[in-house]
């Protein structure tokens, strides 16, 4: 079976936010190419992603990136077994660009099309990189998403918690903006925090000790703003570092509190090991958060798996891999599948009030 898998080639396209990406992945999980073009520079002046600019940029670059991905994978369209493209959730104009391009290739070559849920891309990456078996618990933390899910199988998810306001990455980005550290804020806040005193400012730990596993981060960002206003014009570089460190500590404490509850819930549901926690999404690149989560996992007998940062942030390989997983199970889509701005992985979970289009 593995030998047959080797010959499978899936093209994956990603265009749901501010990365245009194309990749070719083989049936046994080898990444043959993975081309990602970030639009960060185009959105920088606005301090966040502008949907119209993003969609236009995807149109400009997608076909060139596909050619490059095929060339680097030593492939032609004729070698492809299927095409997978993000079909939601995300900024709808961008999603439509990648999805229509993928459909056109699939129609022209008469090969299967797979409309991929972007969140499933993040959720299943660890199976490509680390061969993790089902079930496992997933902490998905990025600029647009902040969720805890039980991953029971392909297309089979149970959401244990989600944010009721900002996503974790969004909190990093907004705090960076308040501190004048630039965009995207996560890496900048992490670097600044290394030089600061995490105990200097007493910031809130939203929802700590509360029932359930939901997150809330908007109060934390507001508390940082208040501290900056309190200090006023005399604010120093060291104040900024201390605020960054105190913010990162508070955000991590909140996540750890929520994750502790989630791991205990998971153990009740799935008592038979091995137990794995997978951390995915852009914020999974944060080493401070990862080392704190590692400690927590030790106390509960979980192994922790975090794919490399380049595969944690948005990319085409994760979409191609979902294509592989689904193709092998016969889970392909008709060409009339629609783009979806909202597309929860767990359709039975109640919608969370302020969780944005991606919850």
Residues in contact with ligand KG4 by CB under 6 A are: 17, 142-144, 169, 172-173, 184-187, 190, 281-283, 285-286, 313-314
Alpha-carbon gap, residue 156 to 305, rounded angstroms: 20
| Contacts of Zn ion in 280-339 (CB under 5 A) | 314
| Contacts of Zn ion in 141-160 (CB under 5 A) | 142
Alpha-carbon gap, residue 132 to 138, rounded angstroms: 11
Alpha-carbon gap, residue 311 to 309, rounded angstroms: 5
Counting beta carbons within 10 angstroms of the beta carbon of residue 347, is it exposed (0 to 12), middle (13 to 18) or buried (19 or more)? Answer: exposed
Least distance between ligand KG4 and beta carbon 314 (Å) = 5
Least distance between ligand KG4 and beta carbon 5 (Å) = 27
What stretch of H or E contains 298? helix 287-300
352 binds, among Zn ion, ligand KG4, none (CB under 5 to 8 A by kind): none
* 187 or 219: CB nearest ligand KG4: 187
Tokens of 138: 């997933």
What is the 3 state secondary structure string of 124-143? HHHHHHHCCCCCEEEEEECC
Least distance between ligand KG4 and beta carbon 282 (Å) = 2
Least distance between ligand KG4 and beta carbon 171 (Å) = 8
Alpha helices in 110-213 (DSSP H): 118-130, 168-178, 185-193
172 binds, among ligand KG4, Zn ion, none (CB under 5 to 8 A by kind): ligand KG4
Alpha helices in the chain (DSSP H): 2-7, 40-44, 51-72, 92-109, 118-130, 168-178, 185-193, 218-231, 237-269, 287-300, 309-312, 317-328
* 120 or 173: CB nearest ligand KG4: 173
120 binds, among Zn ion, ligand KG4, none (CB under 5 to 8 A by kind): none
* Span interacting with Zn ion, options 78-86, 134-142, 266-274, 332-340, rule CB under 5 A: 134-142
Residue position matching structure tokens 């245009």: 20
Contact 332, 114 (CB under 8 A): yes
93 binds, among Zn ion, ligand KG4, none (CB under 5 to 8 A by kind): none
Least distance between ligand KG4 and beta carbon 280 (Å) = 8
Contact 216, 206 (CB under 8 A): yes
Least distance between ligand KG4 and beta carbon 224 (Å) = 15
Q: With binding defined as CB under 5 A, does residue 165 bind Zn ion?
A: no
Residues that bind Zn ion (CB under 5 A): 142, 314
């Amino acid at each position: 079976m593995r030998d047959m898998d080797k010959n499978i080639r899936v093209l994956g396209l990603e265009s749901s936010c501010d990365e245009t990406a194309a990749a070719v992945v083989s049936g046994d999980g080898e990444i043959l190419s993975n081309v990602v073009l970030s639009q960060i520079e185009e959105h920088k002046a606005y301090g966040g992603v502008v949907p119209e600019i993003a969609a236009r940029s995807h149109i400009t670059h997608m076909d060139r990136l596909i050619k490059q991905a095929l060339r680097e994978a030593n492939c032609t369209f004729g070698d492809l077994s299927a095409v997978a493209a993000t079909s939601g959730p995300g900024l709808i104009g961008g999603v439509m660009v990648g999805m229509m391009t993928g459909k056109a290739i699939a129609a022209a070559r008469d090969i299967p099309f797979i409309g991929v849920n972007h969140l499933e891309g993040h959720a299943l990456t660890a199976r490509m990189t680390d061969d993790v078996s089902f079930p496992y618990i997933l902490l998905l933390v990025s600029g647009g998403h902040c969720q805890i899910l039980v991953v029971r199988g392909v297309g089979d998810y149970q959401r244990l918690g989600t944010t009721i306001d900002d996503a974790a990455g969004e909190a990093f980005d907004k705090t960076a903006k308040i501190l004048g550290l630039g965009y995207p804020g996560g890496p900048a806040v992490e670097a600044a925090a290394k030089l600061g005193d995490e105990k200097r400012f007493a910031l809130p730990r939203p929802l700590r000790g509360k029932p359930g596993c939901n997150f809330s981060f908007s109060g934390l960002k507001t508390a940082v703003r208040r501290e900056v206003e309190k200090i006023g014009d005399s604010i120093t570089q060291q104040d900024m570092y201390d605020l960054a460190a105190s913010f990162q500590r508070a955000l991590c404490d909140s996540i750890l509190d929520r994750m502790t509850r989630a791991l205990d819930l998971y153990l009740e549901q799935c008592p038979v090991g091995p137990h794995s926690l997978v951390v995915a999404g852009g914020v999974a690149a944060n080493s401070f958060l990862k080392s704190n989560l590692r400690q927590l996992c030790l106390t509960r007998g979980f192994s922790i798996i975090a794919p490399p940062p380049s595969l944690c942030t948005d990319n085409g390989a994760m979409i191609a891999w979902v294509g592989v997983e689904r193709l092998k199970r016969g889970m392909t889509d008709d060409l009339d599948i629609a783009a979806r701005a909202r597309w929860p992985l767990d359709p039975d979970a109640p919608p969370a009030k302020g969780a944005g289009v991606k919850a």
